[in-house]
Structure 1
Amino acid sequence: MRKFTKLIGAATLALASAAVGANTDLDIDRQARNLWHDAILAGYQSLATNAADFSRAAQNYCESPDQASRRNAEQAWRRAFLAWQKVRFVDFGPVENNNLAWQFQFWPDPKNLIAKKARYLVKSEDGVTQELVAQSGVAVQGFPMAEYLLYDKQMNASDKALPATNTCELLVAVADHIAANSDTLSSEWQSLREHFLDTDQYSDATIKAGMAGLEILEERRLAQPMGMRGNGKRSKYDADAWRSGSSLMAVEASLNGLRTYFLPGLSLLLDNSDKPALSQSIKRQFDEVLEHFPEMRAPMEVMLQDDSFAQLQGLYVDVSQLVVLVTDQAAVELGVARGFNSSDGD
């Protein structure tokens, strides 16, 4: 009887230990989601704040156009655009509603639809309204359209250049659209909190989003303009934000966003895995990649030249090593399989 009692006691202790371990794992997983939710919310709130600033700056410029207000509008556009780059990797949740990600940034744009739509709209005899922008599709509604109006050389040399009436109306309507979407995104993400924390699948979704963000950065935002993918020719036009010379600043912002909003939750999971040292390796690699900046905030066109190309290659190699650490090692350790990402543009 005593032997039987001892067996029951041992079995009960084993089950209790297993339950504690499971609860601990669940707690850690939930803690990681808590870190991710709050960090991404901070990123979305920053986007909303900077987008509102851009909206006001565009309005101020069009009401009182001069060099100072134009410069303020351009700077406000860049701050808002870079705030978007920091949270651009999040490809699930509210940003999927109504194609919000594409509304913020229509890219890639191999057919130059942004220029075609802008030229059509600024010739409208009825003027440009927010309603027209809302009905005109994602190529019109986001940061690339505003960039075109502010920075495109041919546009700025034409009789429709800012502060022409229709062009200003388009700029203000687009800026307002970005600001409204940013507010919506921030509010809806905040409302998602409890569901996000209670849903295990969001852990995998967040890790996959970080993986995809890094892979797109490596393959499309760097390798493609460097001539390492596609037709094999170097071309600034394959980069995003080439008109404003912000392509590499956008890369830096995305890397900073991943380090700030994605890495803490990933590190928590890895620190409690069988390979805790991997967390430190990824942190060091993020630091190494970001050491290329601020020297590489130059326009992509400049960095594609032979005398600067080696620096760009160095950045690419470091990003590739970061991709391997996250997608081939961390994700495997955490049991997350690489999946298809619709924002890749292929």
Structure 2
Amino acid sequence: MHPITRLLCASALVTCSTVVVANAADTGARTHWHQAIQSGYESLATDAAELATVATGYCNEPTPESRERLQSAWLDAFLAWQRVRYVNFGPVENSNLSWQFQFWPDPKNLVARKASYLLGTDEPVTDEVIEQSGVAVQGFPMVEYLLFDEQLNGSENALPATRNCEVLTAVTRHMSSNSRTLADNWTAFKPHYLETAQYRDATIKAGMTALEILEERRLAQPMGLRGNGKRNPYITDAWRSGNSLMGVEATIVGLQQQFLPGLVTLLEAGGNLALAERIRHQFASVTENFPQAHVPVTNLLGDDSQFRLLQNLYVDVSQLTTLVNDEAAVALGVVRGFNSSDGD
């Protein structure tokens, strides 16, 4: 065989081998992602169903103990949502499900305004009324308002007032139904997801967008690092309950458990072993060095010595965002859309 012919054959074999490895990595990554997201959605469905059950139990027998169980059930379901919140494609796009679970950002305090209207009318609170009342009253922020809003809970209309309980149980039923539908639809979505190559990039972009939102909207803006430079806890996404940072932590953990393994598979298949290890290490750094997750962000923003904990967290998240959204994206040939952090 002529030397040039041998060289061409060898080059073709290398190319074919590279394509095979890349395709196998792509399939492996998407297989993991689908399974991991399925598990996350199932956890959300389980916790949302428990929240609906506990809400009914509290309204039937309101005691300090049942109120504590209700608040705990809300937090469990809320954190389950935070762990899968990064998924912004597929069944969660149907009927604005993402917004139904969490209407945020809410700069005009629409949740409180819509809640006040709903609580102040005499119309019977049916499942249809909740479905027709808009996303501001259909999810976690609405239940958080009923449970934790200081002004509401300082009034005679506070839970367990009959009207409030009617709204509470209807909203939690709505959330439970939506979460079960989402989990079932994700199961049915599996063949299409695994057979469609574009979902490789769609999943990576979903993780990238989640990190951008974490860095810019859930940390930088409340810290006063963007905009007018003033610290503002009231633009965080769970300020009434004081669980904003627990939500941030849950999102990081969700990305670490569900998104990271597939990303590492793709990077390592492309020979980017060092980058994969740096990203893995940075995820660990964010979770291990997380500030006191049970402290309301208001406390940290109001105390300069405590504020340093938030600054350290912000730096950790910012470094992670750079590794994933810049270095990994370039290594994997993923092109980010313009201003992809707009929307949630």
Q: TM-score, normalised by structure 1?
A: 0.95
Q: Deviations over 1:107-150 (max 9, x none)?
A: 01111111111111112212311110000000010000000000
What is the distance in 2 between the residues matched to 1:341 and 1:11?
Answer: 44
1:87 equivalent to 2:84? Answer yes
What is the distance in 1 between the residues matched to 2:147 and 2:252?
Answer: 25
Distance change (3 Å), C-alpha of 1:10 and 1:343: closer
1:236 equivalent to 2:196? Answer no
Distance change (3 Å), C-alpha of 1:29 and 1:22: same
The answer to whether the Cα contact below 8 Å between 1:227 and 1:235 also exists between their aligned partners in 2 is: yes
The answer to whether the Cα contact below 8 Å between 1:149 and 1:167 also exists between their aligned partners in 2 is: yes
Q: Which residue of 2 aligns with 1:125?
A: 122
Aligned structure 1 segments of 4 or more residues deviating by more than 2 angstroms: 6-21, 292-297, 340-346
Question: How is 1:245-256 mapped onto 2 (pairs within 5 angstroms)?
Answer: 245-256=242-253
CA drift of 1:17 comes to 4.2
Aligned amino acid, residue 318 of structure 2: S
Aligned amino acid, residue 32 of structure 1: A
What is the distance in 1 between the residues matched to 2:326 and 2:7?
Answer: 40
Question: How is 1:1-346 mapped onto 2 (pairs within 5 angstroms)?
Answer: 3=1, 11=8, 14-293=11-290, 295-305=292-302, 306-340=304-338, 344-345=342-343
Q: Which moved more, 1:7-16 or 1:51-60?
A: 7-16
Q: Deviations over 1:171-211 (max 9, x none)?
A: 11111111111011111111111111111110100110000
The answer to whether the Cα contact below 8 Å between 1:124 and 1:166 also exists between their aligned partners in 2 is: no
Aligned amino acid, residue 339 of structure 1: G
CA drift of 1:15 comes to 3.5
Distance change (3 Å), C-alpha of 1:174 and 1:19: same
What is the distance in 2 between the residues matched to 1:136 and 1:40?
Answer: 29
Q: Secondary structure at the match of 1:344?
A: coil
Distance change (3 Å), C-alpha of 1:307 and 1:8: closer
The answer to whether the Cα contact below 8 Å between 1:285 and 1:318 also exists between their aligned partners in 2 is: yes
The answer to whether the Cα contact below 8 Å between 2:329 and 2:335 also exists between their aligned partners in 1 is: yes
Aligned amino acid, residue 324 of structure 2: V
Q: Secondary structure at the match of 2:222?
A: coil
What is the distance in 2 between the residues matched to 1:323 and 1:14?
Answer: 37
What is the distance in 2 between the residues matched to 1:199 and 1:281?
Answer: 29
CA drift of 1:275 comes to 1.9
Q: TM-score, normalised by structure 2?
A: 0.96
The answer to whether the Cα contact below 8 Å between 2:131 and 2:138 also exists between their aligned partners in 1 is: yes
Distance change (3 Å), C-alpha of 1:36 and 1:199: same
Q: Secondary structure at the match of 2:223?
A: coil
What is the distance in 1 between the residues matched to 2:341 and 2:309?
Answer: 27
Identical amino acids, percent of aligned pairs: 56
Aligned amino acid, residue 142 of structure 1: G
What is the distance in 2 between the residues matched to 1:95 and 1:235?
Answer: 30
CA drift of 1:80 comes to 0.1
Q: Deviations over 1:240-264 (max 9, x none)?
A: 1000000000000000000001000
The answer to whether the Cα contact below 8 Å between 1:122 and 1:128 also exists between their aligned partners in 2 is: no
